[in-house]
Structure formats: C-alpha cells, structure tokens
Chains A and B, each alone.
Chain A
Amino acid sequence: DGGITQSPKYLFRKEGQNVTLSCEQNLNHDAMYWYRQDPGQGLRLIYYSQIVNDFQKGDIAEGYSVSREKKESFPLTVTSAQKNPTAFYLCASSMGLPSYEQYFGPGTRLTVT
C-alpha cells in the first residue's frame, strides 16, 4: 500500500518539552511538506523540502525545526520556543514542486499543557 503515515495520531506533552512528529512516505515523492491546522482555519505551511538534505521555511516556521536525511522521511520537531504548539499537524508529499497534487497523511493532534 502506497501512502503517507504519521505517528502517533495523538500526542500529549508538557510545556517546555521538545517533541518530534514522524512522517514517512513510500510514494517515491521528492517534495514533502508540514502544515499546521487550527480550528476553523485553513492549513498554514511550516516547512517544505523539495529534495533530500534541503528544506525551506514556510509562513510560520518560528519554533519548529525539520530534517530531511532520507527521501522517505521528513520529521518535524516542535520546540519549546513555539508559543502555541497545540494544533493538528499534517504532513504531505508531492512528485515535485507544489504544482503537483499533494497527498496528505492522517495527521497528528498535539496537545501541550
């Protein structure tokens, strides 16, 4: 089965702790993305990567970090510097530049208390 997996589905952390969200794809896609979704709002781009070992900041990168050491994997770390980390996080991938269809994972709901 080809697709994107995100784990875990629900994640709980205490304030001040860093947390890493997993995203894996077996679609052989070059590009991968991380979005944040808050209630009643659209998706906002955090980071994206067009190729291994390269990534770019999106619109709301502050307080987040990523790595792209393998084509299949694009983990997102939510650091303690992110002021409002509680949100629904979505990972996506596409064949190349964003003018190709993006395939989304099932998402991770992060709650920080």
Chain B
Amino acid sequence: GENVEQHPSTLSVQEGDSAVIKCTYSDSASNYFPWYKQELGKGPQLIIDIRSNVGEKKDQRIAVTLNKTAKHFSLHITETQPEDSAVYFCAAIAGKSTFGDGTTLTVKP
C-alpha cells in the first residue's frame, strides 16, 4: 500500500521567515495531494491541494509543488505569522487516503 513520509516533524521559525515541509510517497498511482492544518483539539482543515497533472499551485502566502518523477511534494509558507503555528499534515490519495505523521510548526513573534 501507499506510504507517506513527512519531514521535519517539528519546525520553528521567526515571524516573517519562510517554512518548508516535505513529503514523499511510494505509490505512483497517487493522483491527489492535499495539505491540512490542524489546530489543537480541532479537526484538520484543508489549506491547499494539488493534482498529479499540475506541478505547482499557489494561494497567497501558501504554495505547493509536486515532483511526480521523484514522488515528492512540498508545502511552502512565506511571510509566516504566529497564527500559522499548528500541525500540518500532507496526504497522498490513491483510492484511499494515506497521511504523513505531521509537522508541528511554531512561528516565534
């Protein structure tokens, strides 16, 4: 089955800096790659997603890149703010959803 690895597990940045989280997947049949943000005690919220026919997608300060050949995709957050602090999950979808283990992002004011 699908295996998703996410790195790093924790990330601390200064406000205004950029943050990058990377995921690799194993199943070449995966064709949909969402990113979720989860705040403490709440359910995950979709922040951006990308499909396998696209290499990059951007939404204001958030962007996602996909390299299908290398089977990896990344989340980029620019101009980070304290409210960006949360746990971020990537997922790869090939029929079923397989999630990474999450990255705890801390943005220091």
Contacts and interface: CB of A to CB of B under 8 A. Distances in A.
A90 interface: yes
Interface stretch (A61-69, A70-78, A79-87, A99-107): A99-107
Range, interface on chain A: 20 to 34
A58 B101 contact: no
A48 B45 CA distance: 19
The majority secondary structure among interface residues of chain B is strand
Interface in B60-109: 89, 93, 95-102
B46 A98 contact: no
Nearest to B42: A106
Interface of A: 4, 33, 40-45, 48, 58-59, 90, 92, 97-99, 101-107, 109
A98 B93 contact: yes
A48 B96 contact: yes
A60 to B, nearest CB: 12
B96 A58 contact: yes
B88 to A, nearest CB: 11
Interface of B: 1, 4, 6, 9, 31-32, 34, 36, 41-46, 49, 51, 89, 93, 95-102
Q: Which of A4, A40, A43, A109 has the most CB of B within 10 A?
A: A43
B99 A43 contact: yes
A69 B101 CA distance: 32
B32 A107 contact: no
A44 B91 CA distance: 11
A102 B102 contact: no
B96 A98 contact: yes
B25 to A, nearest CB: 13
Contacts of A99: 31-32, 51, 93
